[in-house]
Amino acid sequence: MTGPLGGVDLHAPVDDRWFEDYVPGSVYEFGYSTLSETEIVDFARRYDPQSIHTDAAGSAAGPFGGLIASGVHTIAVCMRLYVDHYISHVASLASPGLDEIRWPHPVRPGDRLRIRVAVAEARTSRSRPDRGLVHSAVEALNQDAAVVLSFTAMNFFARRPSS
Amino acid sequence: MTGPLGGVDLHAPVDDRWFEDYVPGSVYEFGYSTLSETEIVDFARRYDPQSIHTDAAGSAAGPFGGLIASGVHTIAVCMRLYVDHYISHVASLASPGLDEIRWPHPVRPGDRLRIRVAVAEARTSRSRPDRGLVHSAVEALNQDAAVVLSFTAMNFFARRPSS
């Protein structure tokens, strides 16, 4: 994984990044992560054993013309990029959930993925003023710039200590 | 994994289950899947390396008072129950996505999970009348009946062949 792409990163490094550093309208890209056939099959055997994800030979005649990654695997691989590069390593509190997960394009063995993250919304908590909730619009793109996954993530981050 | 719980299963077995077999209003439970500390840590090291998921000792003093599973890991474990027991093994075509993923309660090492699936909506496709789209409301519950995960799944299924 190479980190921020295009030379654009959040101003604050991950180990000194707080709620205030997530500025709505900002867009970042991070990469890369490549999925091998072995990884795709191993993950699917454990968590999503449908033949389209586990049977390379059989899936060749299937609707996608070959093996494709489990959608949950794609989420997991992109979560790794999100956690390594975007989420604060000191101020992340919890995530209440994810919205509108979509898989518009299949992920195939050898695909190299990157994520594009846009800060969509950031508001401080009324009940707990030491933190804020950030909505981030996440897309994963393959080497041909096709969007293979999109979702909105919600994360609570602690506010920067006013020392 | 023991399969359908409470003796209630879909009428049609997974290898002869079609769009028509998903009847809105039906509710089923399937289980079980137990997460060990080793599995939680191994998954998180690979896909979601936040210390709350990887560092048992350090997380004891954290906001959850101990190690908790990555939310993506919880999704993956529940997807396995969903795929083994609910999804047709002959008529499943593709999933456009998942909506409203929520993690209302943490998953801890040793937790035994089951899923509860309610068929929320089922409608045939206008553009492709050989198939239909099913919305399913999925909840995962732990051994204390606390909901640890909920989401809505969308799946296209082929209609039963009129032989």
Report the complex ipTM: 0.95
How do residues A21-53 score in pLDDT, each as one tens digit?
Answer: 999 999 999 999 999 999 999 999 999 999 999
Token couple for B85: 């027991």
Half-sphere exposure of A118 (CA within 13 A, CB side): 8
- Rounded average pLDDT over B128-142: 97
H or E element at residue A53: helix A51-54
Total domains present in chain B: 1
Q: State how beta strands B131-141 and A92-102 pair.
A: unpaired
Please count the other Cβ atoms lying within 10 Å of the Cβ belonging to residue A100. 13
Is residue A5 situated within a structural domain?
no
Domain contains B1: no
Q: Tell me if A4 is assigned to some domain.
A: no
Q: List pLDDT tens digits, range A93-126.
A: 989 999 999 999 999 999 999 999 999 999 999 9
pLDDT at residue number A163: 53
| Residue A6 located in a structural domain | no
Structural domain includes residue B154: yes
Q: Is the pTM of this model over 0.80?
A: yes
The reply to whether B146 touches chain A by the CB within 8 Å rule is no
Residue A108 within any structural domain of the chain? yes
- Phi-psi region at B25: left, alpha or beta (left = phi > 0; alpha = psi -120 to 50): left
Q: Does a cis peptide bond (omega within 30 degrees of 0) precede residue B82?
A: no
> B36 in contact with A at a CB cutoff of 8 Å?
no
Whether the CB of A93 is below 8 Å from some CB of chain B: the reply is yes
- Does B99 sit within 8 Å of A101, measured CB to CB? yes
**Going by C-beta distance under 8 Å and a sequence separation of 6 or more, which residues neighbour residue B14?**
B85, B87, B88, B89, B90
Alpha carbons B20 and B26: distance in angstroms, whole number: 12
Q: Which two tokens stand for residue B73?
A: 């890991």
Domain that holds residue A39: 12-158
Nearest to A72 among B79, B99, B100 (CB): B79
Whether residues A75 and B72 touch (CB distance < 8 A) is answered with yes
Cβ-defined contact of B97 to A93 (cutoff 8 Å): no
SS3 annotation, B65-116 = CCCCCCHHHHHHHHHHHHHHHCCCCCCEEEEEEEEEEECCCCCCCCCEEEEE
User: Which B residues 57-86 touch A at CB under 8 Å?
Assistant: 63, 70-72, 75-77, 79-80, 83-84
**What is the domain-level CATH number for residue B59?**
3.10.129.10
Tokens matching residue B29:
């439970």
In a domain, B87, yes or no: yes
Is A63 close to B94, i.e. CB distance below 8 A?
A: yes
Which are the contacts of B128, defined by CB distance < 8 A and separation ≥ 6?
A: none
Q: pLDDT value at position B9?
A: 87
Identify the DSSP state of A35.
Answer: -
* A115 within domain boundaries: yes
pLDDT at A3: 82
- The residue of B15, B47, B115 whose CB has the most chain A CBs within 10 angstroms, and thus the best one to mutate to test that interface, is B47
Q: Which residues of B touch A38 (CB under 8 A)?
A: none
**CA neighbor of A158 nearest in space, from A95, A90, A98, A82:** A90
